[in-house]
Chain A
Amino acid sequence: MARSRRRRLPRGGNDFQWCFSQVKGAVDEDVAEADIISTVEFNYSGDLLATGDKGGRVVIFQREQENKSRPHSRGEYNVYSTFQSHEPEFDYLKSLEIEEKINKIRWLPQQNAAHFLLSTNDKTIKLWKISERDKRAEGYNLKDEDGRLRDPFRITALRVPILKPMDLMVEASPRRIFANAHTYHINSISVNSDHETYLSADDLRINLWHLEITDRSFNIVDIKPANMEELTEVITAAEFHPHQCNVFVYSSSKGTIRLCDMRSSALCDRHSKFFEEPEDPSSRSFFSEIISSISDVKFSHSGRYMMTRDYLSVKVWDLNMENRPVETHQVHEYLRSKLCSLYENDCIFDKFECCWNGSDSAIMTGSYNNFFRMFDRNTRRDVTLEASRENSKPRASLKPRKVCTGGKRKKDEISVDSLDFNKKILHTAWHPMENIIAVAATNNLYIFQDKIN
């Protein structure tokens, strides 16, 4: 059977065989705070991969076209554009330091030759236009080739400037700045399927914007209590439904998800659906609420399911069933007996993200020690892989890793106490159509591909 070179849909149900493809970033042991990657996102076609970091910078990689003369560079991602998206600010009125860290990047669907993305820090969202310039005009009348103005009296003839090809230049320019709409820290942005509006969510409020309008934003969710002493939960993530432009969900620090329908009222404080897994009251502990806090929520591409990530697990919910998830996958259950120290070193508050593959047959999320986990929903198999430079020979297969919890540690296993909790994989992304994944390990970006790809 002839194998097509470029698959349109990834294989579902079979085991993947992940291989190292590329790693980006510095090798130094000393990691500068600014270089820590804070968000990773593929665009709709998967040809562009954007990263944001704590220093407020965005780096965009582009997938190389398949090239017969350099077959091994098929599908490699190389730097396309980089720019400073946000700068540090100080709000003197409130004595607030505003970090330049990019919390989220979301691409807009492509409508013309240029690419657009939204990037946000804690307070301000910006719409960036990334465009290519590969021609320039030559033969101006009023200035020389090097830009110097010509003496008008010396001009004796007129000529028509002609366009000449030039080396490709990629320019990024801020087209809209959506500011001053959030008192609290923005944790999510999500572009609507109508391609005209988007939402931004902070700890207590969610706002709806029109991409063209920067001086106005509609508040659609407000959970701020009249008396702040009564505050019991905050919004942790929000996302628009992939197809229904009137539906969005938001998750809370108490482990619940609310689905809202913007058709029902202007202010969606009353949810249409409320998703919560019942808790066994006898199992409640000091840590229960903290570890149930949802750090990420993502709709499946189909729009039928959504996935939530809490500290120890990933749950898949059927939108038609509110009383419990349809799947629960343990990410690192062995950490349950380490919660005390994880609370002391603040790791218990780490916010892990999660993502679906293109066909919704698999999900991925990160863990510690530069491990990341993948769950195949069809075969019910899961695997732990590691992003490390030790395993970075081109096209080298990744070996599954195993954490040993009991006393006897087998060869190649690592014990829980040896895990490096400073090596966290919080951000991962899966190509929308192919089996290519991007994994952010602190200041390095790893790209892995499925062998068959």
Chain B
Amino acid sequence: MSQKQEDENPVEETGEEKQDTQEKEGILPERAEEAKLKAKYPSLGQKPGGSDFLMKRLQKGQKYFDSGDYNMAKAKMKNKQLPSAGPDKNLVTGDHIPTPQDLPQRKSSLVTSKLAGGQLE
């Protein structure tokens, strides 16, 4: 698909001929890879470096625990039995009442680093 496009745009013969050729050879694999990706994920956006991608990067580490949700759900469920955590323990939102056990453990590393223990030559 994309390779055909490349053949229709002839390389300009300039002094930097060799560099151009190398770049052309670099284009083909990249475009081929792009075609492969688009074939797998047709809904992939046109702007790869766009704000969606960057926003995701900025939001690394987001975990969802809302104390308001927690208390509201607790009040609603006062007399009923608390539902146990679903298969996806990491996602705790809304009516589900999270317990400390649901949240992934964040123990600090009290064990000494293995780099510091034992002389391995």
CA–CA, A122 and B108, complex, Å: 16
Residue of A nearest to B109 (CB): A55
Tell me which residues across on chain B come within 8 A of A22, comparing CB atoms. 121
Q: Is B77 an interface residue (CB 8 A)?
A: no
In the bound complex, do residue A35 and residue B58 qualify as a contact, i.e. CB atoms below 8 Å apart? Answer: no
CA–CA, A233 and B57, complex, Å: 11
In the bound complex, do residue A228 and residue B29 qualify as a contact, i.e. CB atoms below 8 Å apart? Answer: no
Tell me which residues across on chain B come within 8 A of A55, comparing CB atoms. 109, 111, 113
CA–CA, A344 and B119, complex, Å: 39
Tell me which residues across on chain B come within 8 A of A340, comparing CB atoms. 33-34, 36-37, 40
CA–CA, A231 and B57, complex, Å: 12
Q: Assuming the A-B contacts A228-B55, A287-B34, are A253 and B114 also in contact, with contact meaning beta carbons closer than 8 angstroms in the complex?
A: no
Tell me which residues across on chain A come within 8 A of B116, comparing CB atoms. 59, 79, 82
Q: Is B51 an interface residue (CB 8 A)?
A: yes
Additional A-B contact list (17), CB under 8 Å, known A122-B61, A289-B49 = A22-B121, A25-B114, A34-B109, A51-B115, A55-B111, A57-B109, A79-B115, A203-B58, A229-B51, A234-B57, A253-B49, A285-B33, A286-B34, A337-B30, A339-B33, A339-B34, A443-B114
**Interface residues in A268-285 (C-beta closer than 8 Å to B):** 280, 282-283, 285
Q: Is B120 an interface residue (CB 8 A)?
A: yes
Q: Assuming the A-B contacts A25-B120, A95-B62, A286-B37, are A445 and B115 also in contact, with contact meaning beta carbons closer than 8 angstroms in the complex?
A: yes
Tell me which residues across on chain B come within 8 A of A98, comparing CB atoms. 61
Which residue of B54, B55, B64, B121 contacts A253 across the interface (Cβ within 8 Å)? Answer: B54
Q: Is B32 an interface residue (CB 8 A)?
A: yes
Q: Assuming the A-B contacts A96-B62, A287-B30, are A87 and B121 also in contact, with contact meaning beta carbons closer than 8 angstroms in the complex?
A: no
Residue of A nearest to B46 (CB): A286
Q: How many A-B residue pairs have CB under 8 A?
A: 145
In the bound complex, do residue A231 and residue B54 qualify as a contact, i.e. CB atoms below 8 Å apart? Answer: yes
CA–CA, A392 and B40, complex, Å: 42
CA–CA, A252 and B51, complex, Å: 14
CA–CA, A337 and B51, complex, Å: 26
Q: Is A161 an interface residue (CB 8 A)?
A: no
Tell me which residues across on chain A come within 8 A of B58, comparing CB atoms. 184-185, 203-204, 234
Tell me which residues across on chain B come within 8 A of A99, comparing CB atoms. 61
Tell me which residues across on chain B come within 8 A of A25, comparing CB atoms. 114-115, 120
Task: List, sorted by A's number, 22 A–B pairs whose CB atoms are closer than 8 Å.
Answer: A24-B120, A27-B120, A59-B115, A79-B116, A84-B108, A87-B108, A88-B106, A96-B61, A96-B63, A203-B57, A231-B51, A231-B55, A254-B49, A285-B33, A286-B38, A287-B33, A287-B34, A287-B48, A289-B48, A339-B33, A340-B37, A344-B40
